[in-house]
A and B are shown apart, each in its own frame.
Chain A
């Protein structure tokens, strides 16, 4: 017993600084007092009590585990499309992807098995992992389009773009589709009334954005009184009849 133990001890003591192979230990320890040296092919010196005093180098339990790579089998919102190789946290991978069967481990066979075929490439139902999330956010929005109270204006796409940027959504002008009718002002009949625009995400997904007109004056004393939580108030359509006012293009059906 002692011999075998000491034989294994020989290997360890050869190089005190480096480990020759990776060892799966939870706690990585280091000897505080170096054991006594011995000449080659000699029996090692006896270890005393002080040689069994260790210092903690690393506790692998509290270290962050590295991400694992998985291959997705279908489209998963916020992660990726079919055939994508995604690097995610291990917990998320096990519980949310591998167990429900939405993904498999990354191996060469799996890569070829779940790679995107030509048929899949033709039918593009989702432009990106996060496009659907953006669409959901836009659908819930009640965008306040601030226009001037005194200066004449006509609503153009860049007004919507500026208002969206103020509200926290980045949208280039070419993605905004305005309603066909001209919206002119300042017109207090239009104050607080809603009209719809269409936002096209990645030239594919379309979302209907509700916009409310609000008249604002440069002079603080001239401004309209603030209605608290105006976005919760039931909206009045701008163009009288809702069906005529809506200028929505049908959303692409998700397959």
Chain B
């Protein structure tokens, strides 16, 4: 009892003291330092970007593996250019073939008298410099469908679902080769559950049916038609043809070296005509070039190699016959480029003038 009273008294006393403490300002009212000091401290605090690391098993967590990796970008400019007609390849720079020569080399090895695979697919390996406009920023991985003039059997199953109003357009789409064409009835079927969206890899739509299609947006997610991926547009036949026959390719960055990107696709088979293969390759390169970051004076496509299984030979070709080597701003005409680039650049400047005239 006595202790209780004493404790209550001390509490009261403490409270009084607390009041007193509160009224007495021993430190400045606001604790902030001078503005200059604050700025300095803020600048010193450099933001550390926390990298998201996936799950690491417990026995590999603390291991500090410090590997010095080789630069994946191949550079043999220090090597000599061969002067003789017969030479050992390892001492000199890689020979650059024309597409026709490279295809002929592959045809020789795949001849019936050697490998006997005359219909082997002709694969293209493209190495990219994935650095974006700013330093330490890189282009994301992308997946695109390149339209090619001469179709070939790519061995993939591509079912296309087309949404459009109007009988004309429906029949046109059917002729082009879509697996299923429809309008509002089709949308209703999907919402009911009679039709599965997962059966179809690609969804193409005409803008006239867009308001009704928004109802399916949640179901479709990535597959929803949008002009960026060229699944939404007026020319249905062209889009259908592109998605059913085009070359599907993905550009992936290397996990350790972020500025190295790699594309591996097939542009046809060896028994196709050489000119057709060349044109397919040209359209593929143009498609890759359309996504290039706007860095002046830098390469995007570094190397293009032609490969054909079962042979492990990689034959380097000159990609800059088909696409400009460097990105050039249309106003700037002074940087070094190939003739193709000059023509392209003249065209684009003419277009700009035409637009300005309008």
Contacts and interface: CB of A to CB of B under 8 A. Distances in A.
Contacts of B112: 148, 151, 153
Interface residues of B, number: 23
Q: Could you tell me the dominant secondary structure of chain A's interface residues?
A: mixed
Interface residues of A, number: 35
B297 interface: no
Interface stretch (B80-88, B264-272, B343-351): B80-88
Contacts of A107: none
Contacts of A171: 85-86
Given A130-B91, A158-B108, A162-B109, A169 B114 contact: no
A159 B115 CA distance: 11
Contacts of A129: 83
Interface in A131-148: 131, 133-134, 137-138, 146-148
A11 interface: no
B113 A134 contact: no
B184 interface: no
Nearest to A156: B113
B90 interface: yes
Q: 4 smallest A-B Cβ distances: which pairs?
A: A153-B113, A201-B86, A151-B112, A162-B108
B84 A148 contact: no
A58 interface: no
Contacts of B90: 168
A152 B82 CA distance: 36
B109 A130 contact: no
Interface of A: 127-131, 133-134, 137-138, 146-148, 150-154, 158-159, 161-162, 165-166, 168-172, 175, 199-202, 216, 218
B84 A128 contact: yes
Given A130-B83, A172-B85, 9 more contacts: A133-B88, A134-B88, A153-B112, A161-B108, A166-B109, A171-B85, A175-B86, A201-B85, A218-B310
30 contacts: A128-B83, A128-B84, A130-B83, A130-B91, A134-B87, A137-B88, A147-B113, A148-B116, A151-B112, A152-B113, A153-B113, A154-B113, A158-B108, A159-B114, A162-B109, A165-B313, A166-B109, A168-B88, A168-B89, A168-B90, A170-B86, A170-B88, A170-B95, A172-B85, A172-B86, A199-B86, A201-B85, A202-B85, A218-B116, A218-B310
